[in-house]
Amino acid sequence: MGGFYDEVIASNGVYKFYSDGEWKETTSSRTVKILNPSTNEAVYQVQACTRDEVDTIFDAAKAAQPGWAKTPLWKRADYMHKVAALMKENAQPMANALVKEIAKPAKDALTEVIRSGDLISYTGEEGLRRLGEGKMLVSDSYPGQDRSKICLSQKVPLGVILCIPPFNYPVNLAVSKIAPALMAGNTVVLKPPTQGAASATMMCQAFHKAGLPKGVLNVATGKGSEIGDYLTTHPKVNCVSFTGGDTGISICKKGGMTPYQMELGGKDACIVCADADIDLAAKNIVKGGYSYSGQRCTAVKVVLAAEEIADELVAKVKKGVEGLSVGMPEDDAAITPVISESSANFIEGLVRDAEAKNATFVTPYKREKNLIWPTLIDNVTADMRIAWEEPFGPVMPIIRVKKIQDAIDHCNSNNLALQGCLFTKDINLAIRLSDAMSSGTIQVNAAPARGPDHFPFQGFRDSGIGSQGIQNSLEMMVKVKTTVLNLDQPSYTVG
């Protein structure tokens, strides 16, 4: 694997956890297996941290926080640039791990690591400018007041941030939480997804090698079902930044007076209007719906096509889908095995339901273990589960609509409301539709996407709480502290 990562791995080949600046093995000797989705065989193992170890990790994070908050902003930014450079220099082994543990196509895996380095650098820059700014308010703007009070507000850290990313971007969605949290003077406990824990753990070595002070970043590994509740309800947690599925909703319900940044599931709708550029729409549906085998929260997950153009659109999407390579991530196939057998079974359940209710299979459904061939399903109706549920797999439903209002109503009736997109050549219609679609982000004439990573990224309804994107994440990782200067008499500057 290469010297840079050697100390991350224990002598028996199990990845270590990271606490108080040191790579450690659990005293329980229990480990968690990470299965390769392409073979369903164990490819890596991580430590199953005990509750005592979790306590020690939080103690380290809590103890390190005041010192880190006193580290000048420019120094924190310097660390971010060092980490980013180290990640990029040592990207390939991390990308290889992504290929093996989450079956991400080889090129996309490398892109994830490089994109993460860029995100960390940008966060250093942005944090330096933004977090150095506060506000000064004078009192005489409020009725009845004179100018005898001056209010100074600044952005201060929240404390210890618990970061929990999902399997599909274990590196990128980890750093999109860690970097803003650290820049804002917080310390971090990372709980990586089990599938993705090896690459996420490797990523933390870049922080270690950059010389980050002890306890500022810590990694607790183990199954979410075993240590998740203990982590999220831990008394030393001051904010939970989570990306994943419905688990996020139960975290909020179980939790207390802790701020949450939640990015949850999506059922991103793609509305194709009668006047759309059909080639452009078809290209985006194929790329947006099937890249990483549909396992993106921003994947196009239902197409709502105007009846007039539906035949032409379906034919063009079919052609694109038939051109997708299907195979192994090592070979950089476009469609690779989905994350687990249970995920493949769930996807198959949605497909069988649509089949039983007489949907039209434009491309046939085919599956070998976790590998599912890209499937295009036309004439989907509202009584089918796939019209509403998120497959997180390479399966695309098309619903034909008589009126655009039907498409808007479908989009707005779903509790999942992350992103959406629309295709039209009419800018006025585009704005009206975007305003009418009640989802966190609407893309006009392109597929949904989170990036570029400084753009706001948020879900409405059950798709999330708060907003991400570098700028908004920085704002979510701070609270406002004010100091009011009370003068003995009003004072005015007259210019």
Ligand X SMILES: O=C(O)[C@H](O)COP(=O)(O)O
Name 156's bridge partners.
Answer: 479
CB of 445 to ligand X, least distance (A): 16
Least distance (Å) between residue 297 CB and ligand X: 4
User: Which residue lies nearer to ligand X by CB, 45 or 168?
Assistant: 168
Contacts with ligand X by CB under 6 A: the residue count is 10
Residue closest to 378 by CA, chosen among 396, 364, 353, 394: 396
Please select the residue that binds ligand X; options are 132, 245, 451, 490, rule is CB under 6 A: 451
Q: Which of 53, 112, 263, 390 is catalytic?
A: 263
Subset of 168-197 contacting ligand X (CB under 6 A): 168-169, 173
Q: Which of 226, 356, 377 minimizes the C-alpha distance to 294?
A: 377
Q: Are strands 419-423 and 268-272 parallel, antiparallel or unpaired?
A: parallel
From the list ligand NDP, ligand X, none, pick the one residue 451 interacts with, judged by a Cβ distance below 5 to 8 Å according to partner type.
Answer: ligand X
Instruction: With H, G, I as helix, E, B as strand and everything else as coil, classify residue 341.
Output: helix
**Residue 137 in tokens:** 């308010």
- Per the structure block, which two tokens stand in for 157? 């850290």
Cis peptide before 364 (omega within 30 of 0): no
Q: In the complex with ligand X, which residue's Cβ is closer, 169 or 207?
A: 169
Provide the 8-state DSSP code for 194: S
The CA distance from 469 to 209, in Å, is: 26
Q: Report the residue number, 298 or 370, with the smaller CB distance to ligand X.
A: 298
Distances (CA, A) of 92 to 84, 88, 107, 476: 14, 8, 10, 32
* Distance in Å, CB of 350 to ligand X, minimum: 18
Q: Please say whether the beta carbons of 340 and 37 come within 8 A.
A: yes
Closest C-alpha among 85, 77, 163 to residue 118: 85
Residues 100, 130, 208, 450: which binds ligand X (CB under 6 A)? Answer: 450
Binding mask 227-266 for ligand X (x = CB under 6 A): ----------------x-----------------------
Stretch that binds ligand X, among 127-135, 361-369, 433-441, 446-454 (CB under 6 A): 446-454
- Binding-site partner at residue 323 among ligand NDP, ligand X, none, CB < 5 to 8 Å by type: none
Calpha distance 42→369 (Å, rounded): 15
CB-nearer residue toward ligand X: 50 or 194: 194
**Residue 97, contacted partner among ligand X, ligand NDP, none, CB below 5-8 A by kind:** none
Verify whether residue 307 is a known catalytic residue: no
Which residues lie near ligand NDP (CB under 6 A)?
164, 166-168, 193-194, 223-225, 228-229, 232, 243-245, 247, 251, 263-266, 297, 390, 392, 418, 459
Nearer to ligand X, 57 or 164 (CB): 164
CB of 430 to ligand NDP, least distance (A): 24
Coarse DSSP helix, strand, coil percentages of the chain, rounded to the nearest 5 percent: 40, 25, 35
* Cβ atoms 270, 238 nearer than 8 A: no
290: nearest Cα among 237, 233, 383, 363: 363
Compute the distance between CA of residue 175 and CA of residue 123 in angstroms, rounded to an integer.
10
| Contacts of ligand X in 198-227 (CB under 6 A) | none
Helices marked H in 241-277 — which ranges?
Answer: 247-254
User: Which of ligand NDP, ligand X, none interacts with 18 (beta carbon under 5 to 8 A by kind)?
Assistant: none
Report the residue number, 79 or 290, with the smaller CB distance to ligand NDP: 290
Q: How far is the CB of 424 from ligand X (least distance, A)?
A: 22
Q: Could you list the residues that contact ligand X (CB under 6 A)?
A: 168-169, 173, 243, 296-298, 449-451
Catalytic center residues:
263
